[in-house]
Amino acid sequence: MSSTSPLWLILLVTGFTVGFGHCIGMCGPIVVSLSLNLKGERVFLSQLLYNGGRVTTYTILGGLMGLTGSFTIVASNIASLQKIVIIFAGIIIIILAFSMIGWIPLGRIFSDDYNPKGIVARGFKRLSGHRSPFAYYPLGLLLGLLPCGPVYTALIASAAAGTQSTHPVQGVLNGAALMLLFGIGTVPALLIVGKLAGLGWLKSRKIIYQIGAVLMVLVGIYFIIKGLRY
């Protein structure tokens, strides 16, 4: 473990610095979309859960890298899934945009008047509830798979830590710990962006939501095109 200690600090700092540059460029539109959709309610908790999901995925991927000791083996296996995730992110952003301006009545469908039967339907209602912040954790888990250059680089470091480990378990722990720290480093930037985009600091937001919805649709289309070309 001690051999990777300096690397832990490097990845934490790297996560922090790329968070304010690269991550805002890639995940910023998603974070802004999520915050706008919340309309100023429970923005911080939702963003925290979204980031928690994202960091959990990074940690699991780091563990896999540490176990296999090979970045390319794991990366090639998740490549096709990542393409789908980019497209899914675009669709989610567009749905959130339409929901925000009331074109898709997610709030009505999943309101208190609607009482679905069955565990899955009830669970989906709970997660999809317009004001439920808990939906953001599984969303973060999934969107943590979005392809990102600095994440790949951190995963390479995790794989390298795996090759230097004497036992597979140690490899998993080292890889996971490195990605956990990298992920934690990226959180502050995205939390700040999400909090600012929550617009809780504004009194009149109707026009902004309408303009925001148009921008979100454009961002969603951009993601879908990018996913198709990836």
Partner 1 sequence: MISVCNAQILRALGRNILCVRVNLERFILVFIFLFVIWAPTIAAETQGRTGVNCDINHSSCTRYLSSCKVTLDIEPKPVKAMKDLTFTVRLTGEKPSSAPYIDLGMPGMNMGPNRVRLKVTGEGLYQGIGVIVKCPSGRRTWRATVTVPDLGTTEFIFDVIY
- Our finding on whether 229 is near partner 1 (CB under 8 A) is yes
Query: Is the Cβ–Cβ distance between 152 and 71 less than 8 Å?
Result: yes
Stretch that binds partner 1, among 71-79, 94-102, 115-123, 136-144 (CB under 8 A): 71-79
**Least CB distance from residue 82 to partner 1, whole Å?**
9
CA–CA separation, 161 and 131 (whole Å): 41
- Our finding on whether 149 is near partner 1 (CB under 8 A) is yes
**Least CB distance from residue 147 to partner 1, whole Å?**
5
**Least CB distance from residue 86 to partner 1, whole Å?**
8
CA dihedral 181→186→216→105, nearest 10 degrees, is 40
Stretch that binds partner 1, among 59-67, 102-110, 115-123, 141-149 (CB under 8 A): 141-149
Residue length of the chain = 230
Q: Name which position in 1, 79, 169, 228 contacts partner 1 (CB under 8 A).
A: 79
Nearest CA among 181, 163, 160, 179 for reference residue 60: 179
CA–CA separation, 94 and 108 (whole Å): 18
- Our finding on whether 156 is near partner 1 (CB under 8 A) is yes
